[in-house]
Chains A and B, each alone.
Chain A
């Protein structure tokens, strides 16, 4: 599974990462005013949350080993 880490101390709560995630892995926590990694198992490492984070506080570490469909 891909690993997504968010430095919530650095995060300024702009929500760009939640919007950027096209597979709803990230979710906005209204109470804490911060994004949370809700469904890491669905992450496809497009990296757009990481790229669009203006405070550079998100890191996506892809796990390529889970992409092992059989073509044979």
Chain B
């Protein structure tokens, strides 16, 4: 039998972590803390410690303040956030243990803001009586985590895109991919593999651009189950001119007649944006009442002229201030043409599909494969009927990333320690994967560019009428567009290794979009983030179910699973 290394450079580790953002780094550190003897390798498409979304976000952690009770958090979540689609056992565990994340980050060298008396410095969302508060963390957290991980002996391999999972029978035995600069094939053999590669964001919104669904697609192709894929249509309201986020815009929207329309679509104050804010924007346009503007002075997330998340009036965070002020200074130039006090807003499609199914140990349905952070936020189901972070609670993104990473890492470390020899890799399977991965690089003559496919998928995802204000007919139309894009994947042509990575991303985006619409067509009701014009009511009689997707004989098989509410404390 030909040797594996005839396919490319073979690297071995006890635990392979795919993705060097906050979840991957937290997982790598936790494996080393649990069992320093285990070899841990973090592989990242960009550079570990700089990659991912964490250091380009709000830098906030939703935690339970001394005044908040875990039971109240669970009850609020089930009734108002996840709408009974939660795995209540895992949600309860999250509520009781998530605060430990702040201690871990602190111990790992991340700057979590404290009061003079040593307690976490937090704020409550203005005007809202909700059972959590927001702690602040500076936006250099991933760099600090990488330094800490390196001190513990974690190894790093940057600028390598891992595309598919290697197998030994049913067991995951590592991953295969290539250098995004040198184009060389690399195979990583591992006793346990942790996916920490983020959600699918279709590279629409700039700061979410790194979430391109590679890990989701790899897990799907390897046969892993997906769950809650229909919730991946997150949007935030953004400036029409610069497309930068207007935090809190949804609560003070006005139509062209000067009517305040927020409450019409979004009754009562809510902890975060809901799909109805975008739907309201769309319907106002449909009725000839566009454009929609916001009245900045009514923004509850604003302190004076500054937004809560990006001011040093609340937390001292030099890296965050440097990032946000530079971003907004440049965006401000583009926005200067709009009415400063009432800028026009549009929905900025983000997506945040995160459907890799995991159990309470963050183990996927494939032996040897774990999934943590945004890649499995919805798939873990503690979150219910919402897209991944913020998932209608601002600050759960970072919290879930570290919380789930610790759980998954402890499970994976145990698995790797007990797994014995490195699993052998099925060479014929690896060779077939390599063939598929490099096909766009070998293509001669005319071909399709990755960006062409990406634009087509984006066209099926960004319009509110397709992905958020859903109907059977419109979703079939959008799915048709996705399938048309999918039909071009065989003709993808890559100009260089960087472009080869884009080809894989195009493939991942087409797959995730198809999954989104197939799952969405199945759910015939409205619940939480999920809104259908043709089924506007929540249907507890028929839809207290999870929608599960997996590949079967080359097709996308969709099935449902009853939520075991009889064993849960909170019932509809």
**Is chain A's binding surface mostly helix, strand, loop or mixed?**
loop
Q: Tell me if A20 counts as interface (CB < 8 A to partner B).
A: yes
Q: A65 CB to closest chain B CB, in angstroms?
A: 9
Count of chain A residues near B, Cβ 8 A: 26
Q: A66 CB to closest chain B CB, in angstroms?
A: 10
- Inter-chain CA distance A50–B207, complex, in Å, is 15
Task: List residues of chain B with CB within 8 A of the CB of A44.
Answer: 206-207, 209
Contacts A/B (CB < 8 Å), 30 sampled? A19-B49, A19-B50, A20-B50, A21-B46, A21-B50, A22-B46, A22-B50, A22-B52, A23-B46, A24-B180, A24-B501, A44-B207, A45-B327, A46-B206, A46-B323, A47-B326, A48-B55, A48-B323, A50-B326, A62-B331, A64-B242, A64-B334, A67-B206, A69-B462, A70-B463, A71-B348, A71-B349, A71-B462, A72-B463, A72-B465
Q: Is the CB of A39 within 8 A of B327?
A: no
- Inter-chain CA distance A45–B324, complex, in Å, is 12
Q: Tell me if B274 counts as interface (CB < 8 A to partner A).
A: no
Q: Tell me if B540 counts as interface (CB < 8 A to partner A).
A: no
What residue of chain B has the Cβ atom nearest to residue A47's Cβ?
B326
Q: B285 CB to closest chain A CB, in angstroms?
A: 6
Q: Is the CB of B281 within 8 A of A71?
A: yes
What residue of chain A has the Cβ atom nearest to residue B464's Cβ?
A71
Q: Is the CB of A39 within 8 A of B498?
A: yes
Q: Tell me if B163 counts as interface (CB < 8 A to partner A).
A: no
Task: List residues of chain B with CB within 8 A of the CB of A50.
Answer: 326
Name the 5 nearest CB pairs between A and B, nearest first: A44-B206, A67-B243, A64-B334, A69-B462, A19-B47
Residues of B within 8 A of A (CB): 45-47, 49-52, 55-56, 159, 180-181, 204, 206-207, 209-210, 235, 241-243, 278, 281-282, 285, 322-323, 326-327, 330-331, 334, 346-349, 451, 458-459, 462-465, 498, 501
Q: Is the CB of B243 within 8 A of A64?
A: yes
Q: Is the CB of B459 within 8 A of A70?
A: yes
- Inter-chain CA distance A60–B464, complex, in Å, is 31
What residue of chain A has the Cβ atom nearest to residue B462's Cβ?
A69
- Inter-chain CA distance A29–B285, complex, in Å, is 49
What residue of chain B has the Cβ atom nearest to residue A71's Cβ?
B347
Q: B144 CB to closest chain A CB, in angstroms?
A: 14
Q: Is the CB of B241 within 8 A of A24?
A: no
Q: Is the CB of B282 within 8 A of A72?
A: yes
Report which of B207, B459, B465 forms a contact with A46, defined as CB distance below 8 A.
B207
Task: List residues of chain A with CB within 8 A of the CB of B235.
Answer: 71
Q: Tell me if A27 counts as interface (CB < 8 A to partner B).
A: yes
- Inter-chain CA distance A64–B242, complex, in Å, is 6
- Inter-chain CA distance A50–B463, complex, in Å, is 33
Q: Is the CB of A71 within 8 A of B331?
A: no
Residue interface bits A13-50, CB-to-B below 8 A is 1, else 0: 00000111111100100000000001101001111101
Task: List residues of chain A with CB within 8 A of the CB of B501.
Answer: 24
Of the listed residues A24, A51, A60, A70, the one surrounded by the most CB atoms of chain B closer than 10 A to its CB is A24
Q: A54 CB to closest chain B CB, in angstroms?
A: 13
What residue of chain A has the Cβ atom nearest to residue B499's Cβ?
A39
Task: List residues of chain B with CB within 8 A of the CB of A67.
Answer: 206, 242-243
- Inter-chain CA distance A10–B347, complex, in Å, is 41
Q: Is the CB of A51 within 8 A of B209?
A: no
Residues of A within 8 A of B (CB): 18-24, 27, 38-39, 41, 44-48, 50-51, 60, 62, 64, 67, 69-72
Q: Is the CB of B330 within 8 A of A62?
A: yes
Report which of B46, B56, B346 forms a contact with A71, defined as CB distance below 8 A.
B346
What residue of chain A has the Cβ atom nearest to residue B21's Cβ?
A22
Task: List residues of chain A with CB within 8 A of the CB of B241.
Answer: 64
What residue of chain B has the Cβ atom nearest to residue A62's Cβ?
B330
Q: B317 CB to closest chain A CB, in angstroms?
A: 14
Q: Is the CB of B463 within 8 A of A46?
A: no
Q: Is the CB of B330 within 8 A of A45?
A: yes
Q: Is the CB of A69 within 8 A of B349?
A: yes
- Inter-chain CA distance A46–B541, complex, in Å, is 46
**Given A46-B56, A71-B282, A71-B464; A24-B159 close (CB under 8 Å):** yes
Q: Is the CB of B334 within 8 A of A46?
A: no
Task: List residues of chain B with CB within 8 A of the CB of A24.
Answer: 45-46, 159, 180-181, 498, 501
Task: List residues of chain B with CB within 8 A of the CB of A39.
Answer: 498
Q: B384 CB to closest chain A CB, in angstroms?
A: 26
Report which of A23, A64, A69 forms a contact with B210, defined as CB distance below 8 A.
A23
Task: List residues of chain B with CB within 8 A of the CB of A20.
Answer: 47, 50
Q: B519 CB to closest chain A CB, in angstroms?
A: 22
Report which of B46, B51, B243, B323 forms a contact with A47, defined as CB distance below 8 A.
B323
- Inter-chain CA distance A24–B158, complex, in Å, is 11
Q: Is the CB of B282 within 8 A of A51?
A: no
- Inter-chain CA distance A17–B451, complex, in Å, is 25
Q: A27-B181, A44-B206, A47-B323 are in contact. List 13 more A-B contacts (CB 8 A).
A: A19-B50, A23-B46, A39-B498, A44-B209, A47-B327, A51-B323, A51-B326, A67-B243, A69-B462, A71-B235, A71-B349, A71-B463, A72-B464
